[in-house]
Amino acid sequence: MNKLVILFLITVMVGGCSTYAQKSNSSLQPHKYQPQSVNLSGFPPAYKVGYQDGCESVDRSEMKKDIKRFKTDSQYASGWRDGYDLCKKR
């Protein structure tokens, strides 16, 4: 009888360990730009593209930035900086 109880307890303990699910750490997840979370209506298209590129650059090893456009298009550059800064805070 004691052997059955011990065997049952060992089975329950081993089975319990196999069903343990570790929570994922959301801070380790790559940042995903979600355009629906930011209202960019009323902004020029160049600003919107810059915002998206800046936001997507936050967790990348290489930034997503159109360097030529950043230097020549003030709307794109402004959107990129805003997108990068705001998404970095999330």
| Residue 45 CA from chain centroid, whole number | 24
| Residue 4 CA from chain centroid, whole number | 49
pLDDT score for 63? 87
| Residue 21 CA from chain centroid, whole number | 21
Per the prediction, the chain carries an average pLDDT of 76
The whole-angstrom separation of Cα 54 and Cα 63 is: 8
Q: Which of 1-10, 24-33, 69-78 has the lowest mean pLDDT?
A: 24-33
User: pTM of the entire structure?
Assistant: 0.59
Q: What is the pLDDT of residues 25-66, one digit of tens each?
A: 433 344 455 544 788 999 999 999 999 999 999 988 888 999
